[in-house]
Structure 1
Amino acid sequence: MSFFSGTISNLESGIKYANVKQKTIAQNIANVDTPNYKAKSVSFKEMLSDATSNSVLAYRTDAKHIDFQTEASSPGVFSYSNLAYRQNGNGVDMDKEQASLAKNSIYYNAMVERVSSKFNSLQTVIKGGN
């Protein structure tokens, strides 16, 4: 039985995307002074493509075997290989990273608020509308 017709799983995917993007931005900011470091970014389209193509399914020889699959560790993350903002070859634009961090934080908070709203609706239904 699927509650909210898949909305929760879609919101979960959005939160996962925001989490990967947050980690990528934090890594860029942490390496702002590292010589020859190339900034990384996350593409939702690439993340979705990687998640669907890089999964490994278990080979089941019996119906009683547990089905599982594994996923790539950091899908959708790519580097800007030919970009350098500094003389030392570093490709991190600190202003861009801070703006991306703020935008991603707003996106993440909106996703979490939406999930919370869905669970509150479910709780209201369980309690019988009271």
Structure 2
Amino acid sequence: MELFQSGTWQKLQAGAEGAALRQKAITNNIANIDTPNYKAKEVSFQEMLKEESSSQMEAVRTNAKHFSFQNTQNTPSVYEQRGNTYNNNGNNVDIDKEMTELSENQLHYNAIIDRINGKFGGIKSAIRGGS
């Protein structure tokens, strides 16, 4: 349905998916806090979202020989943190940092879901005729 193909819906969906991926990475880090040589994982979603949000320029091809403008669908990537070790066993998971990021991510996810619910509420109101 074209109603859900707008930029707002797609960004909200990408935000929810990115927050879910980040939640998974953080919980894996917490679960592996005592695993020797485990390297904490991070999700590069925030940077990707900022980059996507700042590029709002619409482009139009004026000649068939010009390169086409494609809507690149960036996806968040998971990467290992390197260079720091918090435990003697080579593990670099910092429980305080992970718990802080877990709380921050949960707030971010809840804000996205609230916005999605608001969008659905607006649609429901329009269908009912404003009542």
Instruction: Give the equivalent residue in structure 1 for 2:36.
Output: 35
Instruction: Give the equivalent residue in structure 2 for 1:124.
Output: 125
Q: Closer, same or farther in 2 for the Cα pair 1:17/1:34, shift >3 Å?
A: same
Question: What is the TM-score when the length of structure 2 is the normalising length?
Answer: 0.74
- Residue by residue over 1:8-43, the C-alpha shift from the partner in whole angstroms, topping out at 9 and shown as x without a partner, is 111000000100000000000000000100111011
Deviates most, 116-125 or 74-83: 74-83
Cα RMSD for the two superposed structures: 2.5
AA aligned to 2:104 is K
Aligned mates of 1:6, 1:99 — CA distance in 2 = 30
Aligned mates of 1:46, 1:17 — CA distance in 2 = 10
Correspondence list, 1:48-127, <5 A: 75-127=76-128
Long gaps (5+) in structure 2: 52-72
Q: Closer, same or farther in 2 for the Cα pair 1:114/1:6, shift >3 Å?
A: same
Contact residue 18 and residue 76 of structure 2 kept, 8 A: no
Question: What is the TM-score when the length of structure 1 is the normalising length?
Answer: 0.74
Q: Closer, same or farther in 2 for the Cα pair 1:24/1:17, shift >3 Å?
A: same
Report runs of 4+ in structure 1 exceeding 3 Å deviation.
1-5, 45-49
The total of aligned residue pairs comes to: 108
- Residue by residue over 1:39-65, the C-alpha shift from the partner in whole angstroms, topping out at 9 and shown as x without a partner, is 11011146899xxxxxxxxxxxxxxxx
Q: Closer, same or farther in 2 for the Cα pair 1:46/1:79, shift >3 Å?
A: farther
